[in-house]
Amino acid sequence: MDTFTYALPDGNASVLFHRELTVPALPPSGGLYVTDTNTVSLLGTARSFVAGSPTVVLPAGESGKTLASVETILSEALRAGLARDSLFVGFGGGVITDMTAFAASLYMRGARLELVPTTLLAMADAAIGGKTGVDFGNYKNCVGTFYPASSVHVSVAALETLPEREFRSGLAEVLKTALLYAPKLYQIMQERRDDVLRRDGELLLEMVKRCVQAKARVVERDLKESGERMYLNLGHTFAHALESVAGFGVVSHGEAVAWGISRALELGCRLGTTDPEYRDDVRATLESYGWPTGTGHPALAGAGDPLDTARKLLAAMKSDKKKRGGAVRFVLQRELNSTYVSEVSDEDVLGVLA
């Protein structure tokens, strides 16, 4: 087992890389596992899991990422008589790790928390760094807190069980990290595409480790997204708007991020700051993995007039939690690993959407 440790204001956090699927054992002070209908059977196979342990099973998917689901976790914690030093364990994809962490941050003003991500998206991004939350009022992750897990347990063996669409969804977050901080990772995704898609275990482990290390270093410097951590939202302003307008669950988060990256680079070119050759290179990489990069996303093809749809996307962006002082700010790139944040006019945004 390899361990990677990074510093947080309240102490260190650890990411533990296991060869086999492993969950933390519940302590004498008690605890509970939180999972969903897709992963509950997988939980039963994990090392250190004890049959009969308190377990909350939530509906799978983005549609279940609600305050009601968090209330279910909290109610079970109370019913089980958990204390502040009891342990919440989130076992699943990004939806489960986000909601478990949110519930733990609220329970008695902060219970113990460890996470076991089972999807590539959660391993590479969602479970690392302490963002928690739920969707609210048809807006993505509108309600939440910052509450890092003390430990995150990663086993790429879990990726063997993922449906193809879910696996590819996670790859989009891996690519995002590569574009921001990891040229070698970008090279791997370009040159070893076939090995990536056939889920070569050693290669996936290397990719996840590079993502974890890159994100953890950013979180060390900027836990609450007051500066550099905003870069991790590359493509996300477009992506969250797409998810909202299409309807949560219609487009996976990773699919939306891939399209959002293509739009962010197009926006940078429109503003004259992004190298067109770099945009074309990234677009080719996105398309090689089967992600759409056009002006309008296929999920919105039947939504009506393209300009009206673009205006709906823009309206969703203006309700995004990343705005400051009423203005929407976009993460843009000049070239690989050269990133900045800027306010952009409505006209320019609409110009890359319709």
What CATH architecture applies to the domain 2-163? 3-Layer(aba) Sandwich (3.40)
Q: Among this protein's residues, is 79 annotated catalytic?
A: no
Q: Among this protein's residues, is 153 annotated catalytic?
A: no
35-77 pLDDT, tens digit per residue, is 999 999 999 999 999 999 999 999 999 999 999 999 999 999 9
Q: What is the mean pLDDT of the chain?
A: 94
Residue type, 304: G
pLDDT at 303 (0 to 100):
72
Phi and psi at residue 152, to the nearest 5°: -125, 125
Residue 324: is its pLDDT beyond 80?
Answer: no
Q: Among this protein's residues, is 140 annotated catalytic?
A: no
Lowest mean pLDDT among 189-193, 255-259, 318-322: 318-322
Q: Among this protein's residues, is 311 annotated catalytic?
A: no
Q: How far is CA 288 from the centre of its chain?
A: 22
Residue span(s) of the chain under CATH 1.20.1090.10 come to 234-351
Residue 128 contacts by C-beta under 8 Å, 6 or more apart in sequence?
15, 152, 211, 212, 215, 216, 219
Instruction: Tell me the C-alpha distance between 286 and 148, whole Å.
Output: 31
| Catalytic residue (choose from 18, 65, 112, 131) | 131
Task: Check: CB of residue 86 under 8 Å from CB of residue 29.
Answer: yes
Residue span(s) of the chain under CATH 3.40.50.1970 come to 2-163
Q: Is 216 exposed, middle or buried (0-12, 13-18, 19+ CB in 10 A)?
A: buried
Local confidence band at 245 (pLDDT 50, 70, 90 cut-offs): very high
| Catalytic residue (choose from 240, 263, 279, 297) | 240
Task: Check: CB of residue 352 under 8 Å from CB of residue 263.
Answer: yes
The model's pTM is: 0.91
Q: Among this protein's residues, is 240 annotated catalytic?
A: yes
From 87, 175, 98, select the one nearest 129 (Cα to Cα). Answer: 98
pLDDT at 1 (0 to 100):
77
| Catalytic residue (choose from 215, 263, 279, 297) | 215
Number of other CB atoms surrounding residue 162 within 10 Å:
19
pLDDT at 259 (0 to 100):
98
| Catalytic residue (choose from 229, 311, 321, 329) | 229
Local confidence band at 302 (pLDDT 50, 70, 90 cut-offs): confident
Task: Check: CB of residue 39 under 8 Å from CB of residue 95.
Answer: no
Q: Topology of domain 234-351, per CATH?
A: Dehydroquinate synthase-like, alpha domain (1.20.1090)
Q: Among this protein's residues, is 224 annotated catalytic?
A: no
Q: Among this protein's residues, is 243 annotated catalytic?
A: no
| Catalytic residue (choose from 62, 173, 255, 266) | 173
| Catalytic residue (choose from 140, 209, 210, 236) | 236
pLDDT at 107 (0 to 100):
98
Q: Among this protein's residues, is 225 annotated catalytic?
A: yes
pLDDT at 321 (0 to 100):
56
| Catalytic residue (choose from 62, 233, 255, 279) | 233
